[in-house]
Chains A and B, each alone.
Chain A
Amino acid sequence: MNGEIQPILNTRNVSKYFGGVRALEKVSIIIPEGGIIGLIGPNGSGKTTLFNIITGFHVPSEGEVFYKLNSKFIRIDGLNPHEVFRLGIVRTFQIPRLFPSLTVIENLLVTPIGQKGESILNAIRWRSWLEEEKSLIKKALSLLAKFNKLDIAFKYPAELSVADIKLVETLRGLMNPARLYLLDEPLAGLDLLTARTLLKFIKEIRDTYKLTFIIIEHRIDLLMEIVEYVYVLHNGRVLASGKPEEIIQNPDIIKAYVGE
């Protein structure tokens, strides 16, 4: 690594009010490019809302979100969710939302953007999208194979176990080459082996492709094995931030989780 670490995303004084409810207040975070950053905090502290704002699901009541694109910083708050996705920011959902009438492999195949077969004129001509489809299927299958889950490829979400649903939700997000991934509780409900495999996988593709991850998690023990920096949210504000070792020992944070 040479020189300073460049941020890929930062939020500046982002606040969000829903009616009278304050979900976020003056949240400023900096995400270094290529980093794996943790976002923790008790339930209701605003973590998912922050994700929603970064990805365009909500418009912040106050503040801005900046994203580095082609060596320039652009302001992305207020963009529509699909535009944010196309800038290379992917998010997964806390409660998995797979498409119920699509099989697992179809769920995985939906994600990649700009597929040739998605325009009406091309869709009608098989030949035009066949090659691209083949390579996408190959990618989806190898992704499943890494986790030894090839057998669920043709199952429907209704037939899957909770853990598998969770895994597919995360893998669906990973199908599209992007630069920044926002994973919302990717380990919830997974058995230990699968969880560790997923964490290892995240680290691998981060190293190979220089991706950036922001991970919301409650399983802090597992999370701390992989993150390099942590932000702690409480009641919509940044309570603390720092390296994992510092955070774990901070008494305020323990109180925030357990007390009150």
Chain B
Amino acid sequence: MIDVIGFLINWLIYFAIYSMLAITLNLESGIGGITNFGKVAFFGLGAYIGALMNTYMLLAISGVDVSKAPPYTAEGVIALTRISISNPALVLGIFILSILVSFTVTGIFGYLLTYPIIRVGAGFVGFTLLSIGEVLRAIYINTEFVGGTYGMLGIPQPFMWINNTLLSNICYLLLSISILALIYIISHRILYSPLGRTLRSIRDDDIVALCLGKDVPKIKSKIFFLTSGLSGVAGTLYASYVSSVNPQMFVMLVTFNVWAMIIIGGSESPVGAVVGALILTLVERLLSLTASFYEYLPFTSDYLRPVIIGLIMTIVLVKYPRGLFPMKPPKITKSIVKDLEGKIS
């Protein structure tokens, strides 16, 4: 029998994490004009930072000799599990710390990246960011203490100490949804504020925006700091949920999926991003659930998914370039204007 509740919780956690990626992609690319083809780089960086902190630090503080039992070995994993179950305060504390560190480090990373690419055109930006993702992956593969090609396992889920799996997953879901809500509100507020207007003007014509007094590189850098940092947070949440990280998890396909979400849902509004994430994560989860039905195919069903999603994405892009939920003009402006209309002319 299919565990419906379990499926729902699992899907919704994925949905929350991917929504964070989609909303931030929205903000930086759809509104801010930085075509981020390297989304997975920040996602992966956040995941690895979370992984590192929630394993090494946890072990070290608990007095385990990390050089004898590094987290990517069996002894390390056993030690981790033991600690996580018996010391909830420590696990939660380090988890929260890892989210903050992830945000800061990934944010600064994104901020620094903007310097060389801010002056050049969109194509260069896209290509450079794409390459960054691959370079990071190469680094992960070649670095031993993050587990190399095999990555790390046993990353504790911060609510693991709750004896009930269902309950601990529900807690994690609530945590993820809360962070999602925060990110959504931030994004929404920015979009409909003067900053959102300035960002859109930069996206439309950055040269004119510059001539009208906007310090385009600085504004783009600041926004990218925010969105990169938040993508890192999503990565940390992901790593702790699936309890592992490895370089194969952070391939270009991930970036592509997030782009598909905002293109189908709408590249300008957070609503569109969330809808896109909802649809695509559901499709993905359903497909992996029914994976056993595809055994008769002469190829892996995993390969079919990108083709289908790619086709849908391209068709939507050609027919509805602004997505299914395009941005609506700010309501605040309209209401203020209505107030003032009587007082002018």
A residues within 8 Å of B by Cβ?
55, 57, 80-82, 85-86, 90-91, 93, 97, 99-103, 105-107, 109-111, 113, 115-120, 122-126, 129-130, 133-134, 137-138, 141-142, 145, 150, 153-154, 172, 176
Q: Which of A109, A122, A141 has a CB less than 8 Å from the CB of B340?
A: A141
Residues of A within 8 A of B195 (CB): 117-120, 122-123
Which of the residues B333, B336, B340, B344 comes within 8 Å of A106, measured between beta carbons?
B333
Number of chain B residues close to chain A: CB under 8 A = 40
Interchain CB contact under 8 A, B205 and A99: yes
Bound together, the chains give a CA A172 to CA B211 distance in angstroms of: 12
Give every chain B residue within 8 A of A107 (Cβ-Cβ). 201
Given the complex, which residues of B lie within 8 Å of A137, measured CB to CB?
333, 336-337, 340
Q: B344–A150 contact, CB under 8 A? A: yes
Give the distance in Å from the alpha carbon of A85 to the alpha carbon of B209 in the complex: 11
Looking at the complex, which one of A82, A106, A133 makes contact with B211 (CB distance below 8 Å)? Answer: A82
- The answer to the question of B284 belonging to the interface, with a C-beta cut-off of 8 Å to chain A, is no
Least distance between A29 CB and chain B CB atoms (Å): 21
Cα distance A99–B208 in the bound complex, in angstroms: 9
**B285 part of interface (Cβ distance < 8 Å):** no
Q: A102-B197, A117-B194 are in contact. Are A142 and B344 (CB under 8 A)?
A: yes
Nearest CB on A from B240, distance (A): 27
CB-nearest residue of chain A to B332:
A133
- Please, which residues of chain A bring their CB within 8 A of the CB of B210? 80-82
Determine the main DSSP class of A at the interface with B: helix
Could you tell me which B residues sit within 8 Å of A by CB distance?
185-186, 189-190, 193-198, 200-201, 203-205, 208-216, 219, 222-223, 226, 329-330, 332-334, 336-337, 340-341, 343-345
A120-B213 contact in complex given A133-B194, A141-B337, C-beta closer than 8 Å: no
The answer to whether A126 and B197 touch across the interface, beta carbons within 8 angstroms, is: no
Q: SS class of chain B's interface: helix, strand, loop or mixed?
A: helix
Please name the 10 residue pairs, one residue from A and one from B, whose CB atoms are nearest each other, closest first.
Answer: A117-B194, A85-B213, A123-B193, A123-B195, A99-B204, A113-B213, A145-B345, A81-B211, A124-B189, A117-B193
12 contacts between A and B (CB under 8 A): A57-B211, A82-B213, A99-B201, A100-B205, A103-B329, A111-B212, A120-B190, A120-B222, A120-B226, A141-B340, A142-B344, A172-B212
Contacts of A105 in B (CB 8 A): 333, 337
A138: which B residues are within 8 A, CB to CB?
340, 343-344
- On chain A, the residues within 8 Å of B185 by CB distance are 124
Question: Is B190's CB under 8 angstroms from A123's CB?
Answer: yes
B211 to A85, Cβ gap below 8 A?
yes
Query: How far, in angstroms, from A137 to B185 measured CA to CA in the complex?
Result: 24
B191: shortest Cβ distance to chain A, in Å?
Answer: 9
A133 to B340, CA, bound (A): 12
Chain A hits for B193, CB < 8 A = 117, 122-124, 126, 129
B186 touches A102 (CB 8 A): no
Report the Cα distance A134→B341, complex, angstroms. 12
In the complex, chain A residues whose CB is within 8 Å of the CB of B222: 120
User: Is B200 touching A102 in the complex (CB atoms < 8 A)?
Assistant: yes
